[in-house]
Amino acid sequence: MKPLIASGHRGLTILEVLVVLIILLLLAAFLLPPSVGGKVKASRIQCVNNLKNIGLAMRIFAHDHGENFPMALPVNQGGTRELADIPSQLWRQFLVLTNDLATPKLLWCPDDTQRQPATTFDPSPTNRPAVVFAGNRHLSYFLGLNANEVQPQTIVAGDRNLTTNGIPLGAGRHVLSAGTQLGFTDQIHKTAGNILLGDGSVQQVTGSRFTYQFRDALTDSGITTNLWLVP
Residue range 170-208, pLDDT digits in tens: 999 999 998 999 999 999 998 899 999 999 999 999 999
Q: What are the beta bridge partners of residue 202? A: 196
Residue 17 lies in a domain: no
Q: Does the predicted model carry a pTM greater than 0.85?
A: no
Strand partners for 157: 143, 196
DSSP 8-class letter at 53: H
The domain in which residue 117 lies consists of: 39-230
For residue 31, the model assigns a pLDDT of 59
On whether residue 1 sits in a domain, the answer given is no
Domain total of the chain? 1
CB pairs under 8 A, 24+ apart, for 57-62?
Answer: 57/97, 57/100, 57/101, 58/97, 58/149, 58/156, 58/200, 59/149, 59/200, 60/100, 61/96, 61/97, 61/100, 62/148, 62/149
Query: pLDDT under 70 in the chain at which residues?
Result: 1-12, 16-18, 26-40
